[in-house]
Amino acid sequence: MAIWVIISALAFAVAALLALAILRGRIGDEPPAAYDLRVYRDQLKEVERDLARGVIGPDDAERIRAEVSRRILAADAQLQKGGDATAQPRALALTGAAVSLALLVGGSVWVYSRIGAPGYPDMGLASRIEAAQDARLNRISQAEAEARVPASATVQAPSPDFIRLMDQLRTAVAERPGDLQGALLLARNEAVLGNFVAAYKAQAQVLSIKGDQATAADYVDYADMMVLAAGGYVSPEAEAALRAALTRDPQNGPARYYVGLLQAQTGRPDNAFRTWEALLRDGPEGAPHILAVRAQIEDMAFRAGERNFTLPPAGDAPAEPPLAGPSADDIAAAQNMSGEDRMQMIRTMVQNLSDRLALQGGNSAEWARLIGALGVLGDERQARVIWEEAQSVFWDSPEGLAEVNDAARRAGLTE
């Protein structure tokens, strides 16, 4: 607060001096005509002294007296009129003083608000770093952050059948706490519904089941769901999950993005900028975490004092990976195998695709392929489950929804 007082006082003092000069419009307490009269009379005395010393002749003295006398008469006439012909109008002087005051006081405050740090306490770099560390160590917990997030509607508008299936899934996972696939499906679908607290609790169950086999992606998913549940806040619990992810994969992009966000939230925009700048260089272009960095890094550079930073142009996003899972050709090629081997191969490919969609998501073509493959296998119940899930994923994409619905029709799930 002291910096604002100092800036305002200095600006006001300078503006007051400038305004006073404008209002007075002259130097001294007398008009210019009076000053001129005094100078001219001194010149007449100087002519008499020069004549007495023989510096000038009588003719020159007479000519100079006449010229100075003429000027004395003109100055005296101006003085008798009351005035100072060179003084500016009063209204103009007041306007100039007011404009100067506004520019100096208001301008100084505006400049500081743009390039300064309003709202920050007056402290040196070491004190700021210490305060940031204290803020990080003493920030609120996940539960406290969730309590502060206002209630909101779910992000999806699921059908009654999907709600029924979700209730069944929740019951099944509760009854079979060691079911990895069920916990994965529950975490993913709770997140789809916007139930992020339930989602990260289900993901915690995934981590518990996997134990030492849990991957960096598993921990990042857990942290991501906690951050979403806390309204974008990176809690100490989410930080612990991010550290676990980076221990397993130090180059994990989403984890590095959230670490940068944590640094920004705890008063270290300089560290956040460096973290995001390195992440931006590493890519890959078009990844969700890179898009998030691009949306925020310019503001972070400003906060970090990196005035020369320029956001590089976005490159081309990498091509989508080839579709995984069994195609119609794959299934047809398996006809030459024994019945048991053929079914085992098809089920393995279907399971691989199902696991990848549950863990990483996918496009509508991949969801349609999974529905079609389950239809070929005759697993109508599971095909319907996947179809319902796909409808919830692509509810806001008419093209994607049409593709999965067409796959359901071809699989015999609808008329």
pLDDT at site 348: 67
- Asked if 250 contacts 259 with a C-beta cutoff of 8 angstroms, the reply is no
- Asked if 254 contacts 220 with a C-beta cutoff of 8 angstroms, the reply is yes
- Asked if 226 contacts 241 with a C-beta cutoff of 8 angstroms, the reply is yes
pLDDT at site 240: 93
- Asked if 266 contacts 233 with a C-beta cutoff of 8 angstroms, the reply is no
* Helix/strand/coil for 152: coil
- Asked if 325 contacts 349 with a C-beta cutoff of 8 angstroms, the reply is yes
Tokens of 288: 């969700």
Residues of the chain with pLDDT under 50: 26-27, 85-86, 123-124, 153-156, 317-327, 331, 333-335
Classify residue 124 as exposed, middle or buried by CB count within 10 Å of its CB (0-12, 13-18, 19+): exposed
Q: Where are the alpha helices (DSSP H) in 176-268?
A: 180-192, 196-210, 216-229, 236-248, 253-265
Q: What pTM does this model have?
A: 0.53
Q: Domain 328-410: which CATH class? A: mainly alpha
pLDDT at site 27: 47
**What does the pLDDT look like over 185-206, one tens digit per residue?**
888 888 877 888 999 999 999 9
**What does the pLDDT look like over 147-187, one tens digit per residue?**
888 766 444 466 677 778 788 888 888 888 888 888 888 88
Please count the helices (runs of H) and the strands (runs of E) in the chain.
Answer: 19, 0
Q: Residue 155, CB half-sphere, CA atoms under 13 Å: how many?
A: 14
pLDDT at site 137: 76
* Domain residue ranges of the chain, discontinuous segments joined by +: 2-115, 142-267, 328-410
Same fold, 142-267 and 328-410: yes
What is 142-267's CATH number, 1.10.3720.10, 1.25.40.10, 3.30.1490.190, 3.10.20.740? 1.25.40.10
